[in-house]
Amino acid sequence: MCDVSGKAKDSLTREQAVTNLVESAARETAALARILSAAGDEIQTVGAIPNITKTEIAELNTSIEGLINASAKLEDVIFKRLELIKTGFIATA
């Protein structure tokens, strides 16, 4: 947020910014875990449906595979962001 002069009203310290990045990564990872857990629940539910066809199972498999691949890519981005902090590229002091 800026004041009338255009200067940052509530400036963060570098340490707080790094803390915010780490907390954000933790929230993103937790959200991905919930999404993957829901996908697991979906697999169990579909597996219990009587007379499910091979085509329906294949469609579910394709959908879950895409979800897992997207999740892995997001986790890689999160990991790289944390590595930047750890290696000092985003300095804490």
pLDDT of 80: 93
How far is residue 51's CA from residue 77's CA, in Å, rounded to a whole number?
40
How far is residue 53's CA from residue 35's CA, in Å, rounded to a whole number?
25
| pTM confidence score | 0.74
Q: What is the mean pLDDT of each run of 10 residues along the chain (93 residues)?
A: 58 87 95 96 93 94 96 95 83 52
Q: How far is CA 86 from the centre of its chain?
A: 19
Q: Is 93 helix (H, G, I), strand (E, B) or coil?
A: coil
